[in-house]
Structure 1
Amino acid sequence: MLDVALITTFFLVFIRMASFVFSCPLYSMSGVPPLVKAGLSFILAVLVTPLVQPAPIEFPGGMWGFLLAVMSEVGVGLALGLVCTFVFNVVKIAGQMMDFQIGFAMSAVMDPMTGGMNTLVGKFLHFLTLVVFLNIDGHHMLIRALVSSFEMVPLTAAGINGPVTLLVLRIFTDTFALAVQIAAPIIAVLVITDLSMGLIGKTAPQMNIFMLGFPLKIAVGVSCLAILMPAFASIFKMLFDTLQKDLFMLMKGLA
């Protein structure tokens, strides 16, 4: 005889898992086949369902109540994935700011993995973040956080309120603030380089500043990036700590 409560619980757990996997930047890259994402969601749901408090068999409003419960689980998964996306995009946005100042913005190309325009330094820093995150078993941390979400936000118990909305907006604004802080040293050096070339152009008009400026700014920008690479270890640690804190605060708010 089929256990209706177990099937309902498994389905709702699978919905939350799938929503997170398909929205989290670590798993949602277009290079990962959808069947693999669905399979990962299914395996996680099978493992987590016995640990989750069973969902009610009857929902207020019948079928409409069940659909609202499904939408609630979709919202929880997407919200957690959205927070991960914001945090992972910090370094990518910082790299794009550096590219714009260096002059690499003109080499932006369409990235089939994300469906958007990507620049050289931005893509490099984005992949570097993913490699470091995988190297420290960050993907396991995300899975543990997702499993913990069923304890902090039980099935069908999630709710969106004013503090949750303000939290998401705060994380969104912090994304750009952190990106500016990360890119600020290189941008400052390149602005000084621009001012120096402007002064040289005034004192030596016969020099072709435009032809000299492009390779000079590339050399200065890449050199500064290489010098600052050791500092990215502390930046990555700060970002990953921020990710854990934001996920916890979001789950607490949704509960």
Structure 2
Amino acid sequence: MSWSLLGEQLELLGPDIVAVALCAARLVPVAFLCPLLGGQAAPTTVKLSLVLSLSLFLRLVAGVGLSTPVESPLVLGALVLKELVYGTSVGLVAALPFDAARMGGRFIDLFRGTSAEASLPVAGSRESATGDGLYQLLVMLVVTGGLFPAVVSGLLRGFGVVGLGAFVPSESAALFVVRLAGGAMATGLAVGAPIAAAALAVDCLMGMASRAAPQMNLQELGAPLRILGGGAILWLGIGVLCERLLAGVMDLEGTLLLLGEAAR
């Protein structure tokens, strides 16, 4: 094959290469932020391979492409930057229900006193067994419960709502993401509120009992009662907590559509 023929073939493939690159630029932040496409647990090679596969699917099967050709490398760089910014917004929104589960678990462990940081103030870290447990449990429920295809479909249908290069970094889109982040924080606090109330009730009862019977050393019973009582409430209410968190995942498809409407 001559160099001229190879050059002609590359020129013909130019629009396809640009479209795949822009699709990948939008999906890369989503793959690194949303646990359903890899998140922090999957190796980087796996996430990048998934991004490339989805980008090829969007171009070759779904026909996603630019409406106008790219005229210069500067224009291509600007389009890649726009797709990265919009992909980061989409990834943040898609990861919010799972971050709410992790925040709720850390809130629970903070009041129960079972986190590594609370147990070992000097040597402990900020790890939270309940936070990681609720996070992984929510991921498992989404993947095995039939919501995974709906979330991925919402992510891919976003290319039809906001075409390649059509993202406009508007104030309404930024405020929309901020409101969703605030809602996720509220969900995390609501998830941990019953256990926090139980821990405060135990402290209140121990305080009143100590005042009523000062000769009895009841202060050492506070921490074990908080841990055991909070764990019992968490075990009994895990179904309600999962339903609350799954409701956020079920709303993701409509939320991503609203984000696309505000961003174009």
TM-score by length of 2: 0.86
Tell me how far apart the structure 1 counterparts of residues 246 and 64 of structure 2 sit (CA, whole Å): 34
Query: Match for 1:177 among 169, 179, 186?
Result: 186
| Paired residues of 2:26 and 2:83 also in contact (CA < 8 A) | yes
Query: Match for 2:217 among 182, 204, 208?
Result: 208
Determine whether 1:8 maps to 2:12: no
For structure 2, list consecutive stretches of 5 or more residues without a partner in the other structure: 1-8, 120-124
Tell me how far apart the structure 2 counterparts of residues 80 and 127 of structure 1 sit (CA, whole Å): 21
Tell me how far apart the structure 1 counterparts of residues 95 and 55 of structure 2 sit (CA, whole Å): 22
Tell me how far apart the structure 2 counterparts of residues 171 and 124 of structure 1 sit (CA, whole Å): 23
Give the aligned partner of residue 54 of structure 1. Answer: 65
Correspondence 1:15-26 to 2 at 5 A: 15-26=25-36
For structure 1, list consecutive stretches of 5 or more residues without a partner in the other structure: 110-115
Determine whether 1:35 maps to 2:45: yes
- CA radius of gyration, larger in: 2
**Deviation per residue, 1:4-51 (Å, 9 max, x gap):** 222211221122222321222333444422111111111111111132
Tell me how far apart the structure 2 counterparts of residues 233 and 19 of structure 1 sit (CA, whole Å): 26
Per the alignment, do residues 53 and 107 of structure 1 end up closer, same or farther by CA in structure 2, a change over 3 Å counting? closer
| Paired residues of 1:52 and 1:150 also in contact (CA < 8 A) | no
Per the alignment, do residues 218 and 250 of structure 1 end up closer, same or farther by CA in structure 2, a change over 3 Å counting? same
Query: Match for 2:203 among 164, 182, 194?
Result: 194
Tell me how far apart the structure 2 counterparts of residues 78 and 239 of structure 1 sit (CA, whole Å): 19
Give the aligned partner of residue 165 of structure 2. Answer: 156
Tell me how far apart the structure 2 counterparts of residues 183 and 226 of structure 1 sit (CA, whole Å): 13
| Paired residues of 2:102 and 2:134 also in contact (CA < 8 A) | yes
Per the alignment, do residues 146 and 230 of structure 1 end up closer, same or farther by CA in structure 2, a change over 3 Å counting? closer
Offset at 1:123? Answer: 1.4
| Paired residues of 1:108 and 1:118 also in contact (CA < 8 A) | no
| Paired residues of 2:98 and 2:138 also in contact (CA < 8 A) | yes
| Paired residues of 2:28 and 2:87 also in contact (CA < 8 A) | yes
Give the aligned partner of residue 126 of structure 1. Answer: 135
Tell me how far apart the structure 2 counterparts of residues 193 and 9 of structure 1 sit (CA, whole Å): 59
Tell me how far apart the structure 1 counterparts of residues 133 and 89 of structure 2 sit (CA, whole Å): 26
| Paired residues of 1:107 and 1:120 also in contact (CA < 8 A) | no
| Paired residues of 2:29 and 2:88 also in contact (CA < 8 A) | yes
Per the alignment, do residues 253 and 169 of structure 1 end up closer, same or farther by CA in structure 2, a change over 3 Å counting? same
**Deviation per residue, 1:74-124 (Å, 9 max, x gap):** 112111111122221111111111111111134579xxxxxx832121111
Tell me how far apart the structure 2 counterparts of residues 133 and 151 of structure 1 sit (CA, whole Å): 24
Per the alignment, do residues 37 and 162 of structure 1 end up closer, same or farther by CA in structure 2, a change over 3 Å counting? same
Offset at 1:169? Answer: 0.9
Tell me how far apart the structure 2 counterparts of residues 43 and 108 of structure 1 sit (CA, whole Å): 44
What's the RMSD between the two structures over aligned residues? 1.9
Tell me how far apart the structure 2 counterparts of residues 172 and 86 of structure 1 sit (CA, whole Å): 7
Per the alignment, do residues 53 and 41 of structure 1 end up closer, same or farther by CA in structure 2, a change over 3 Å counting? closer
Report SS of the residue matched to 2:167: coil
Give the aligned partner of residue 113 of structure 1. Answer: none
Give the aligned partner of residue 244 of structure 1. Answer: 253
| Paired residues of 1:108 and 1:120 also in contact (CA < 8 A) | no
